[in-house]
Chain A
Amino acid sequence: MSAELKNERTLVLVKTDAVMRGLIGEIIGRFERAGLKIVAMKMVYPGKEHAAGHYSGSEEWLKGMGNKTLDSFSQNNLDVKAIMGTDDPLEIGKMVQQWNVDYLSSGPVVALVLEGIHAIAAVRRIIGFTIPARAEVGTIRGGLSIDSNTIANIEKRATKNLVHASGDKTEAEHEIQHWFESEKILNYKRCDAHVMF
């Protein structure tokens, strides 16, 4: 039980806006300093197909994303029909999915697998809220970006939020095998492990 907790894994992508801005080391350093162990890492320039395969893409998932986007339009007092041409959650979900794929495949990204206690939740906490403009100060997104979904929605593009991290165990499993062959995930001990755990 305790071993399982210590070895939870999550997938992180340092996305192309972070790479272009020279923030790879800054971002990965924060995970390292928190005590998370990097067990796989590489730089890739993803094609559209590979980028699309990163996301679940199921109808339910697309609808969920569509609904989130609808909420953000209404919170920002934006006319969804005028901008998107529809207010159907599934159709909007598909468009947003396309924005995400375009964003993810627009340049090189650094993919890594991190391991540690509650790694999935720990990484999400360090990264901060999805939208940089509303992310907490001190988090990666709150401290290193100011992009906002208000402007992103108007410009019909993804919000550039520097980093992706798996949201739950199912996502982590899918994403880790999507980016890494199992033999590329390495087994070693960090020398601070006996102090921390």
Chain B
Amino acid sequence: MTLALEKENAVADFRKLIGATDPAEAAPGTIRRDFTTSKQNNIVHGSDLPENGRIEIAFHFSSRELIEAQ
């Protein structure tokens, strides 16, 4: 499932929410710590830098598929 999420400081904050790539190192309460134990099957991807966020969104979505925030 591919999503584009929007908020202030979205890239860094989302990385914090999902936790470290290796679930053993992910902080308690993060998605990876709570829902997986496998470094390979790490459940979720989040862009690592704002620049890559732009590239990845453009790769997965055409501009008309992105809905303006109401």
Contact = CB atoms under 8 A, between A and B. Distances in A.
Interface of A: 20, 41, 43, 45, 107-108
A43 B67 contact: yes
Contacts of B65: 43
Please report whether the interface of chain B is mostly helix, strand, loop or mixed according to DSSP: loop
A108 B67 contact: yes
A123 to B, nearest CB: 19
Nearest to A38: B1
A107 B70 contact: yes
Interface size band for B: under 10
B1 A20 contact: no
A20 B70 CA distance: 8
A45 B1 contact: no
7 contacts: A20-B70, A41-B1, A43-B65, A43-B67, A45-B67, A107-B70, A108-B67
Contacts of A43: 65, 67
Nearest to A108: B67
Contacts of A45: 67
Nearest to A43: B67
A45 B70 CA distance: 11
Contacts of A41: 1
B46 to A, nearest CB: 16
B26 to A, nearest CB: 20
A172 B70 CA distance: 30
A43 B64 CA distance: 11
